[in-house]
Each structure stands twice: as C-alpha cells, then as structure tokens.
Structure 1
C-alpha cells in the first residue's frame, strides 16, 4: 500500500513539475548601501525583510538570519519550527509532529506567540494563531519552492508586521532566463516517503514561471496505529518584468493531514523511581490509539435534540487552504512604489487526543466512584470493576496485571472555516540633504479576516499503555451482574465542552520609516506604526444538561446549546515604534543599537470569552545592542537583548479531574523580563573544516506577580519563566572534500537545551538535555545523495510537561509527564537537478 501510494505520488508530482505553470518572484535588484566593495561572501548575503530596501545583512541595525535552500537541504529539518530552532534567540519545542509546534522569542512567555510568518512579505493568515491552526508551521511548509527564509528577531519587526517581536519571511523561488529544476525523493526509517519537485524558467517576453511542491506519506515518529502525515502542497508563480519594475502573480494550495503528539507519562506517580517505559515506550509510545477511530460526541442542540459529532483520530489536523497573491514593484523617477495583495480561504478539521490529568492508582480511582454509583444504581452495588469499552462489562480488565494505573485524556473535535485578505501599499523615496541621505518609506496595511468555529470535547478513561484501549468502569453486584456504568463506551464525561461562534476582524495600519545614512559608516533609522482594530461576532451560549441515560453517569452533566446568542463588539488600537543606529568601524567590524515597542491587541478567538473579552492591554519593550564581525566566508554576530513584557496576563483555566472540565481559573498578573545574549556565526578555516552554530544565554523571569484568586503570586517572583531555558545552543561542524568532479560533505550537529520548569513556582524541573545528529552529502554532476540521522544516541529529553495541569508542578522535583524527544531516526534523500 505504501509503495503504491509512493508510486502514484511520484507520477503525479513529476508530471506537473515538468510543465511550465504559474510562478512567483524574488525581490528587485539589490541597492548598494556602501561605497566600498565588501568581502565577497557578504555581497550575496542580501536581505529584504525589515527594511525599506534590500540590504546586505552586515549593514542592517538588527538581528537577522537568512537560511538558503542549500542551508535547509543540509539541516534537513522535520518541520519549519525545527529549522527555525537552529537560530539564536528563538527557543523551540518541535516534538508535536510536523505542525503546531512551539516557538518562543527572546523569553516572551507564549506558545507560538509574536513570531510572525510572511510569504514574500504578506501573511497567509492575519493572526499569529488561528483557532487550532497557526500561520507558522501550520500553514508554511518547506519544499523546493522555498528559496530562502529570512528571520528578523526584534529590531523593526513591530513596524513591518502586526503583533511581531520577530518575523519569518518565506521567500519563494522565482523564474529567470535559465530553466532550472530539481526532483527529490526522501525515504525514512519511520515509514517516511516524500517526493519534492520544482521547475522555473522563462516563458518568453520578459515573463518567467516557477512551480513546485511536495507529496508525503509518513507512518510517524511515534506509533499511533495509523499514519501520522499524509498530503502535500503545490505553489506556483508567474512574473513579468516591466520597464520600471515587475508584476507577479502567485498561488498556493495545501491539503495535508498531520497527527498531533501530546505528552505521555514516563514514571509511576506513586513511586517516581519506577519507569513506565515497558508500557509506554519513551521514544515510540503515544496515547494516540486506533480505539478512537470512530468517536461519537453526543450533545444537546438549542431545540433539545441530541446531535452526534463524529470523529476519527486518524484524521489528525486536516488543513485545506488556497492562497492567491499579487505583487507589484515599480520605480517612477525618485519614487519606488510597492503594492501587495493576498487572499486566503480554507478550513481545518482537527481531531486530537489531549493528555489531561496524570495517571492514578486504578483501585483508588474506582473506589472514588462507589458512592456515586450506589446512589445512581441502587443498593445492590457491591464493587466497582473495569472492562474494555464496548464489551458490555464482559471483557474484564485488571489494571494490576499491567501498571496498576488508569488515566483520563480528552478527545477534541474542532472545525474552523477561515478567510483572510490582506494588502500593503507603500512608497519609498531617497532624499539628499546637507547631512547625508534619508530613505523614507510611508505605507498602509489593511486586512479583513475571520473564523467560524465549532468545538466538542469528550473525556475518556484509558489504560496506561501505548495505543491504549478505552476502558469502562462499571458497578457490579455481589453476583457479578452489571448494575450500571460510570462511563459510556469508554467516555468518562460525555460532551464535557461544546462551543460555537464566529468572529470577523478588520485592521487598518499606517506606518512610516526613515533610514538616515549620515556617512558610509553611520546610519540612523526610526519607524512608527499605528493600528486600528475592530472585531464583531457571536458566541452560542451553553449550559449543562443530563441527557437522560439512566445506565451511565457519563451523560449527567453534558454541555449543550441553550439557543441564546452572545454578541461581541470590540475596538482596539495599537502603537508600535522603533529607533536604531548602526556604525561600521570598517568593512569587517560594525555595531548597532536599537529600542522598540510592541503593542499587543486581542485576536479573533475572543468569541469564546463572551460576555467579557479578556482585554488586557499589553506592551513589550525590546532593547538590543549588537556587534558584527565578518571576514571572507567567516562571520560572527553577537546581540545583547532586554525584553520586558508588561503587564503579563498569565491567567489560565486548569483541568479539574473532578468535573472533567478546564474550569479551575487562576489569574496571575505581573511582568515578564528577559535579559540575554545571543550569537551565531561561522568559522571557515583553511582546508576542509568549517564550524557553524548559535548560542543563547538568557535570564527569563517573572516579576511583580499578584493573584486575585487567593494564591500567593509573590512565590513566582524571580522564578524562571515556564519552559524557558537559560541556555540553548547548537554546534554544526562540517568537513568538505573534493575528488575530481565528486564532492563529499560530512557534518555533525549537537543541540543543547538547559534546565526548564513546568510551573510558575519552579517546583518541577524539565532536565537539561543534549542530542547529536550526523549527516553526509555526496554530489556528482546533477545528482546528489544525502543521509541524515537525528538523535543518534537516543538521548532523553522533555520539551514540555503536562500543559493541562502543570502550572503548579507535578508534585515531584523532576517531571514524570511530558513530551519526549523523538528517538533515533534516519532519512535518505536523493535528488537530481537540471
């Protein structure tokens, strides 16, 4: 079956890659910013993100990296987030699968927050995070149509994107006068099969095309009992050069399924020294299970009719969306005009099995329901007992023959229809003065976007095993007859949550920047952006209902729709600014300073906070100072940074095992502060050896915490921000050889992440870990073969704890519940270029 799928995929992708089609563009020719010629390697290191015009990386006054297609090929990342994790200043947790992974910028305490993705300067979706999809790795997948990715950290990011402390701009391949292309096949020992292809070239008459994409099938890094990833995407663009610029039309379609890996228990909470590895393998185990291929979540609609929301865990996160965009650049005398527009339409159907509370002793758990079962099913109840779900109590199960534990987990069925339109218009002009040259840009950005959302959650009782079976907990008489069930075919709480609503957002922004080149060594710049937001929408109100099945307790408190509607209206404004300076001591040594403000508004998921949107005006102050060293093909960029997030709203709804709902709301208001230093560089020695890498040292901490729910917020003051390390780094040595027309590159990679904590009070630690990777690339003529291996020593490491219930720790000094690193895995990549 897998071979057949791979063959069909190869045939389809090769056929469209061999045919000219629509394409996209690269930015216009670079504008020189210095009179003297820089070292050769710097001349080609051109960036377009975060500035009015293209510049060399060495010349800008902020931290930015550009990862080329060759860089991406060598790193061979599992996901876009995995790739971004090689850069300094951005801590990632890339163990959730191919999408929906975690990025945190310079200590800012959010999941995926404030790293704003663009594609050729425009987002695919306006907001950072949609309702259970995100516009980071959730919408931006790597393929051969990715020419490079430019990542700005801090600097002018708040001016060139909304709610951005960093920008990752995906630059697509664009056609040129020379026809070129590539086809690439990847095979992995985790049941990974992928085919990539692209072709770009001229159509004639100053018109060029590029088209490409991928198809992929993957069993998974963890064994769920069904495929982890299947699907693909196609991107294309067509560009026409004009006498004074160009116009470009681009399109994208993505249709992909991706399984979400959640945290697993690794040790027995009754005795944390006892490993659960023989029940749930650390590297391969998962709570995903074929037992959830046919889920039925029953809930009450507004008319009182019982509805069935069906789910299949193998569906995973199924996203389908299309995007079209147009880009125009033109010069009119001294004026440069840029106009971009894009529209995205799509939907997500997301099925996932979320870990909630930690495992518990099976006997104690069952005994805790004896009184409720006796009250509901009568005095003949003598004992509680387990059976496999759906066996009517006959398929008895004794947890003591396994781990002696049982646990709860939550199935989530989520549907979102979304749209986003966005446009940017700007004009740029250079103005000569008696004191240098001003490069002034003035622009406006607008967006209309929205989401229609439906969610249904249901809690299940399961074994503590990989691919667990669902369990029923029944009340038995003294003769062994079933008197009634606590569960309902494995469900411990039917329809524990349902929500539905829709929100539309509108944004208008005005921005301006001035880059003042006082001399060929000294440059000052400043920028300002003001945004007007407007939200409107509704939420379908819910209440608790008993669905009336006397044989089970699971339906006694289900959520259903009352028929009431809560309407929502909200207007907000945000003001961002930045000021920077750059001074070059020589063509090899430079330094810069910068201060910025990021104003953070709400997002359209506020539909479910009716009647009172959780509006907490928040500002982040971003300061940085950097030193730049470049010589030939070697460089070192070092940046000191200070981030202050004030106020920080750390409120959350924790999971309550007694009700099965996230109804324990805790509010913390305070400040998050991070002081740190980041560096990335490459040392190219004489001979075959080179060394690249990045390092971040920081002190992320909470300050001035208070709570309105009676908790002592001061206990969090000075503590390390949840899941943020003080140190993370990667080192990548390479040895290159040539044998005639054959080139061989051998390389390694070491990643290290320091100690982190699961909770506000730093009572449960996520230990530091390091992992090794190895790879090799051999190329001859148009052919290239690559072998890459990750975590080759099977290093242990947690990337998070149990996020549903860990805000106050796990009750142990070292985490026993979390999302581990993937085990050792190897991929073979073979390609041919033309």
Structure 2
C-alpha cells in the first residue's frame, strides 16, 4: 500500500493534495462578478498586477493600497505548488496565521497575531466559504470548522484579513477572517487531475468545468474523490470520500444572482500525540523516537483496533468502526445576489447547511513501561496477553522486551457524535457613495442573521495498546495475580476511567444571532478615513446532559457488550447519560464592536495606515458545564461571560511597484478568554496581551519570483483568574517568530521551486519550563508542461524528513523519559497528471 507506483491509473487518485488547476486565459468577452476569480485569471497573464482588489471582511471591495487593513491572498495556481496535505498546511502560508497543522484533515488549531490558542479550532479567526461562515463558531468542542470544508479544483482563491474591519464586517471574527472563494464559471473550460502518493497510500481524482449557457448565464461545477491510508501508517484506508460543488450565475445589466450548492461526504483520520523519549534538561531537551515507533510516520491508530464499543447518546450499545475517524457530512444550498439600484449597491448572501457526522480519535492517557501499566490496572503480579491481532490470546512473557521498547499506552477513545451542526446564515448589505466637497463619502449598512445548532454526544472508552508502528499495534489484556481478567478484549472500561467518573456529555443547544452593522468612509485625494459599528445580539436556548453538572447527573452502569451473560470488570465500568435529568440553557448576550482607521496614499506605490478596533467573540459550548451558566435555570449570572473581547491597534505601510510588493504591520492586542484547554481539560479564564510585527513581501523579475512572510510576536498571560502562578508567562506553543517563503523559477515548459515554513522555539505548557525546539519544514515542487494544457507535477512534503514538534503533553522533562508529542508528518512524495480543456 505504501509503495504504490501506479502513477497515472484511471482509478480514483491522490489523497490529501488540494491542488488547483492552473487558470486558463480570461476570455475577451468575460464579465467579472468575483474580484477574486478575476484576479486569478489576470494573475495567470501577469503575476505583478498593478491593482489588487480585496473583498473579504471589508465594507466594499477596493484596492489594497487604498484600504486601512492588513490583507493577504493566495491564488489557485500558487496553492497548487505548496504540496499541502490539509487545509491547515495551506493556511500556514498566510503571514500572521499560526496553524498547528498536525492533526490531519480537520480539527487543527488556528490563531492569529498571538491571540489565545487554549483549545482546538479557530476561536478568534473565522473560516468562511464564499463570504459566509462554515460554522458560526469555529471552535465547537472536538468538531471545528475545518472538518467541513475542503480545498479542491473549485477553489479560486483564499483571502485573509487580519484584525481591522473583520470585527465589524464578519461574525465572531475579532482576530480576522479567512475566506475560501469558489470559481463561478468566469474562466471557461475545466481540468481533470489524477494523482497518487509515491511513498504513501494516497489516490485521488479532481475535476472541474465552467462555461456559459447563454450570453448572461454561466455555471461551474467540480469536486474530488479520494481513498488511501494517508501520510501515516495506520493499517487501513483512513481517507475515503469526496465532495461535489456547483453554482449557476445569471448576469443582468445592473447585477447578478447566483445559486450554489455543496455535498461533502468524507472520512479522514485524526492524528493525536504519540509516545516519544524526552531526556536532557527543560531548556535543552532531547526528543527521540522509541524503538519501532516513529513520531513522524506512525500513529495511535491500528488495524487491530477495529471498533469503538460503547453506549450511544440514547444509552444504546454501538460498535462503530475506528476507520470512521473524522466523518464530515455537509449538504449546503446558497443564494447570492448583487444589484445597483438608484445609486445603491445592494447585496445579499444566504446559505443553509445541513451538517452532521462524527469525530473519533485515539489519544494517550498514560504511556509507561509494560510492567508499570499492568500494575496500575491489575495490581502487583498482573500478567499481560494479546487481545487482538495475529497473536491474540498469547501471554507476553517478557514485558520489558515488548517490541524492543517495553512500552504500553493506555488510550482514551472518544467519539463525538455530531447529530446536528445545522446552520442558516443571511447577510444583507447596502452601500452608496456621494460626492461631498472634493471627496467621496460612502455609507454602508447591513444586517447579519444566523441560526446555529450544536447537537452532539460525547462518548468515551478506555483501551490498552502496545507501542509499535506500521499500523500493527494490538490491544492488550491484563489479568490479576489471582487470575481475574480486568480488561475485556483490550478495553479497560467503557467510559473515561481515569477521571474517576463518567466523562459523558450531550449538547442540544440552539443559537440565534442578529447583528446590524454599518460604516462611514470619506476619501479625498490621498486620504481615506472611516469607521464602522456592529451590535451582536444572541439568544441561547436548549439543554445539556451529563458529567460536570452535579446533583447526580452522571454515573456508572453495567452492560453485557459481548453477550456472554456475564458482567466483566470492564463491563461494570460503563458510562451512561442521565437523559431524564437535563440542565437547561437559557440566556442572552449582546456586545458592541467598532473599528476606525485612516489610510494615506503617500504616492502611487506607497501607502501608510493606522487602525484601532474593538471586536468580540461570543462564547459557545466552551462555557457550558462551567459556572458561567447556571445548571439550575440556564441563566448567565454575569453577562460578560457570554463573549470575549479583542482590542487591537495596528499601524502599517504598503508598497507596490514593478513586481515588488511589501506590507509591514505593527500590532498590539489585548484579549479576554473563557475556555477549556485542549489536552488537559482545564478551565481557562484569562487576560492576554500580544504585540509584534508582521511582514510579507513578493517579488518577480523575469522567470524568478518569491513570496515570503514572517511575524514576530511577544505574547503574555497578563492575568489568570484561576491559576495565578502562570501570570506573566508566555502562552504555551507561542513562538517568537513564524515564517514562510516560496521562491520559484517558471518558464513556459516547467516551474520548479520550494516552500518552507517554520517557527522558533516555544514552551510546551503555560508553566514555561519544557521547551519545544524550533523547526523548519521544506516542501519542493516541480511542474512540467510537455504540451499545451498538460502538466505533470511532483511534490515533496517535508523533504528532509524533519521532526517538527507541534505539541508536547509534558510540562517538564519526565523522570522516566517517557512522554507523548505530536509532530509534523514525515516526508511524503506525490505526483499528479493534469489535463485542461
């Protein structure tokens, strides 16, 4: 499987390569309806365009040099070359954006300019698709927005705005917005690409096509299908599924209407921390692989751990395949319209998404020597045996020599059943410009409406597994010295046993958000000054069930999962949900956001600007099951617990001339955060401060070009209201510098270059003891075009096979040298054949 060399078969090919077809020339009679798609087409003819129109997170699309914002864009043909294996690996190439791109296709962590990253997903940074949020809240516990969005041949561009007007012109986005913009048939024609992994299991087919039906009607559709094991050895096809998207646009003399839709049904594995040897000192640690296990290429997943066995949200038995992994189901239908009426430009975006699926992962609870783990579960004198795999039933006679490392790992196996993340969003906007004196006065007003359901069940089990790579790890049984089995088929319990109670939760909550907003802008000569306001009003209603509510709303039961008529020790530790004892959720919140900025066009190629903003982010499920929401009547005693604020100051300079673009921005942000820390489960209530400088530049001269960016950030925990000992410390995982660069050499027949991303060292935990080393990952690409409209491409991701630590569980060097960590994926090589038509 890992050495499949069938490069150009007709079977579905290429797993995690979100490559995008290179753009065809813009037809002479084409009329643009999307600033991003026009830029894509024009960029294929002239990469150093004299004017760049940016439309995400602002009142009205305008040239970047005339806007007091910090913005970036990745075009389709640039994304193709990155060799990214996930959306997070694409987005880490945007300056200021820090992504922990090691979890797989989804549930990655995203933040911006040092804003807090206590938990998974993207709390202060909104992920959008065609101008509307994928989910209203980007950090829903265990099921973040990126699970339900894919980059494929439908993608025209990625636009990002950092700080600035994002707080008033987008929802729950005080830090910024990243918008994935789809093609709309503006560029006629299409492409098919077949691709495969050369040294890993990855097979994928991508396709798209756009054309005119009449002089005023055009369409675009496309998608992908993939299957394969993926970049890590897990012993089964962890990736399986695909996506179809379409849109139809009707053009009028004064505007357009567009209908679009998406169907996504895709499965992918989630990679969690794995065992690693940690020695040395906290400030100079040594991280090494254990024998027969590689943190770059192996995972906690295995072919011999086939099913999650538990009670579901209705307390009924289930046997769900571990291969389900992150299962994303999204069915969306949307409508967009824009018209010029009586001097006003009026637009409306509307979308309904039916979102469901599940998120299953296998994560470490404890890693230790086989003898120590056996004693902790079964007591002194316990024995071990294989529960699954080819050696099932055999006694392990020499635990110290097991797999050459003598280790076992006790693992949590949680599954989050996503019964519904359905959402409806509508954004209505109108703007008009008048001549006022010698300048232009622009007024914008709008109303944003969103409905978001969070209906999820948290199910946990606890298993015991050996530490061996290749997807070959077996589950392990423990028997006491008296001969009593304390595990069943490798299951220690059918709940989260390490917590001492049944850590099960169920959410059935609806969010209703209404937000009017508006702005005023005056542009005279070289000067533009403006401000904007937004007022968010939210209603939260529903019920929650389970652990953390008190009053006996949780507990243990027994269930005969194997049907032998007996209750084993493990079966006697089965978690259930107290469905007859819900806690209500019934509160409202509201907050004001504002932003004001000034831009001065010093000369045609040079502009300077400054901005101050106060934005906020509504807290969703992270404050449920905490004191912020009463478990008695569902109220919120302190209304400020309903949202967290970001106050941000920015000052910047922009330069663009003769193929050279330079943007430099200084920033200062003060942030509040109500959260639950990923990995530790600790409640967080903090104030943060971050300041720094971000810089991006691009240059093109003849066949050579380079795009690069770096961000310096100094972040600090100003005040922790629960753990005062971390006050003044640097937040965990926060490096001083993050950076990226992509130089390339391009001719008519070939393009060659590389992409590097990395960061300086950081701390593993907020206690600021153990250091995670700096790392740089280099990805290379080669595109060859032997004939017109045919391209062969080879990408090498992590060419030098480096260990880049993203997460380390331990806060200091462990006495026994045994830890757990998550690293960037090791080297993977993919190849693709594209044919345009």
Q: TM-score, normalised by structure 2?
A: 0.86
Q: 2:720 maps to which residue?
A: 705
Q: Secondary structure at the match of 1:133?
A: coil
- Structure 1 residues 225-240: aligned runs within 5 Å: 225-240=235-250
The CA distance in 2 between the partners of 1:88 and 1:812, in whole Å, is 39
Q: Secondary structure at the match of 1:363?
A: helix
Query: Retained in 1: the 8 A contact 2:48–2:700?
Result: no
- Displacement, 1:219? 1.6
Of 737, 742, 753, the residue aligned with 1:747 is 753
The CA distance in 1 between the partners of 2:295 and 2:177, in whole Å, is 34
2:326 aligned with 1:317, yes or no? Answer: yes
The CA distance in 1 between the partners of 2:792 and 2:557, in whole Å, is 61
Q: Secondary structure at the match of 2:808?
A: coil
- Summarize the Cα distance change of 1:279–1:611 in structure 2 as closer, same or farther, 3 Å threshold: farther
- Structure 1 residues 745-824: aligned runs within 5 Å: 745-779=751-785, 780-802=787-809, 806=810, 808-809=811-812, 811=814, 816-824=819-827
Of 360, 372, 388, the residue aligned with 1:364 is 372
Q: Secondary structure at the match of 1:750?
A: strand
Q: Secondary structure at the match of 2:433?
A: strand
2:658 aligned with 1:632, yes or no? Answer: yes
Q: 1:41 maps to which residue?
A: 48
Q: Secondary structure at the match of 2:371?
A: helix
Instruction: Select between 164-173 and 774-783 the one with higher mean Cα deviation.
Output: 774-783
Query: Retained in 2: the 8 A contact 1:6–1:194?
Result: no
The CA distance in 1 between the partners of 2:571 and 2:38, in whole Å, is 67
- Displacement, 1:652? 4.4
Q: 1:425 maps to which residue?
A: 428
Structure 2 portions without partners, runs of 5+: 15-20, 22-30, 40-45, 497-502, 547-552, 561-565
- Structure 1 residues 392-541: aligned runs within 5 Å: 394-396=394-396, 398-402=398-402, 403-416=405-418, 417-434=420-437, 436-466=439-469, 467=471, 468-477=473-482, 482=483, 484-496=484-496, 497-519=503-525, 521-541=526-546
2:342 aligned with 1:294, yes or no? Answer: no
- Structure 1 residues 344-359: aligned runs within 5 Å: 344-357=353-366, 359=367
The CA distance in 1 between the partners of 2:37 and 2:393, in whole Å, is 73
- Displacement, 1:274? 8.8
- Structure 1 residues 516-595: aligned runs within 5 Å: 516-519=522-525, 521-541=526-546, 542-547=553-558, 552-562=568-578, 563-595=580-612
The CA distance in 2 between the partners of 1:546 and 1:426, in whole Å, is 54
- Summarize the Cα distance change of 1:75–1:162 in structure 2 as closer, same or farther, 3 Å threshold: same
- Summarize the Cα distance change of 1:732–1:163 in structure 2 as closer, same or farther, 3 Å threshold: same
The CA distance in 2 between the partners of 1:183 and 1:253, in whole Å, is 19
The CA distance in 2 between the partners of 1:5 and 1:243, in whole Å, is 45
The CA distance in 2 between the partners of 1:62 and 1:586, in whole Å, is 18
2:383 aligned with 1:385, yes or no? Answer: yes
The CA distance in 1 between the partners of 2:606 and 2:378, in whole Å, is 74
Query: Retained in 2: the 8 A contact 1:697–1:726?
Result: yes
2:209 aligned with 1:206, yes or no? Answer: no
- Structure 1 residues 242-321: aligned runs within 5 Å: 242-267=252-277, 275-298=288-311, 307-321=316-330
- Displacement, 1:580? 0.7
Of 153, 157, 160, the residue aligned with 2:162 is 153
The CA distance in 2 between the partners of 1:605 and 1:368, in whole Å, is 32
Q: Give the count of matched residue pairs.
A: 770
Question: RMSD between aligned alpha carbons?
Answer: 3.0
The CA distance in 1 between the partners of 2:653 and 2:663, in whole Å, is 6
Instruction: Select between 187-196 and 40-49 the one with higher mean Cα deviation.
Output: 40-49
CA offset digits 1:22-58 (Å, max 9, x no partner): xx994379999xxxxxx99344522111222221222
- Displacement, 1:300? 10
Instruction: Select between 545-554 and 768-777 the one with higher mean Cα deviation.
Output: 545-554
- Displacement, 1:582? 0.5
- Summarize the Cα distance change of 1:337–1:487 in structure 2 as closer, same or farther, 3 Å threshold: same
- Summarize the Cα distance change of 1:461–1:166 in structure 2 as closer, same or farther, 3 Å threshold: same
Q: Secondary structure at the match of 1:142?
A: coil
2:834 aligned with 1:826, yes or no? Answer: no
CA offset digits 1:475-520 (Å, max 9, x no partner): 134xxxx2x122232122322333223111101000001121022x
2:671 aligned with 1:645, yes or no? Answer: yes
- Displacement, 1:561? 2.8
The CA distance in 2 between the partners of 1:617 and 1:79, in whole Å, is 30
Of 75, 78, 82, the residue aligned with 2:82 is 75
Q: Compare relative contact order (CA 8 Å, sep 6+) and give the higher one, 1 or 2.
A: 2
The CA distance in 2 between the partners of 1:156 and 1:9, in whole Å, is 42
The CA distance in 2 between the partners of 1:369 and 1:198, in whole Å, is 54
Q: 1:20 maps to which residue?
A: none
The CA distance in 1 between the partners of 2:253 and 2:684, in whole Å, is 58
The CA distance in 2 between the partners of 1:546 and 1:193, in whole Å, is 44
2:698 aligned with 1:688, yes or no? Answer: no
- Displacement, 1:229? 1.3
- Displacement, 1:228? 2.3
Query: Retained in 1: the 8 A contact 2:309–2:494?
Result: no
Q: Secondary structure at the match of 1:50?
A: coil
Q: Secondary structure at the match of 2:132?
A: coil
The CA distance in 1 between the partners of 2:305 and 2:364, in whole Å, is 14
- Displacement, 1:593? 0.3
- Displacement, 1:530? 0.3
Q: 1:379 maps to which residue?
A: none
Q: TM-score, normalised by structure 1?
A: 0.87
Query: Retained in 1: the 8 A contact 2:791–2:835?
Result: yes
- Displacement, 1:99? 1.8
- Displacement, 1:781? 1.4
- Displacement, 1:717? 2.6
Q: 1:60 maps to which residue?
A: 67
The CA distance in 2 between the partners of 1:485 and 1:172, in whole Å, is 56
The CA distance in 2 between the partners of 1:745 and 1:126, in whole Å, is 39
The CA distance in 1 between the partners of 2:664 and 2:522, in whole Å, is 24
Q: 1:330 maps to which residue?
A: 339
Instruction: Select between 468-477 and 315-324 the one with higher mean Cα deviation.
Output: 468-477
CA offset digits 1:97-148 (Å, max 9, x no partner): 122212111111123222212222112332213453222x322211111111
The CA distance in 1 between the partners of 2:212 and 2:34, in whole Å, is 17
- Summarize the Cα distance change of 1:485–1:631 in structure 2 as closer, same or farther, 3 Å threshold: same
CA offset digits 1:285-320 (Å, max 9, x no partner): 11111222133114896xxxx731222111111111
The CA distance in 2 between the partners of 1:285 and 1:80, in whole Å, is 21
The CA distance in 2 between the partners of 1:572 and 1:700, in whole Å, is 29
Q: Secondary structure at the match of 2:603?
A: coil
- Displacement, 1:72? 1.2
2:699 aligned with 1:675, yes or no? Answer: no
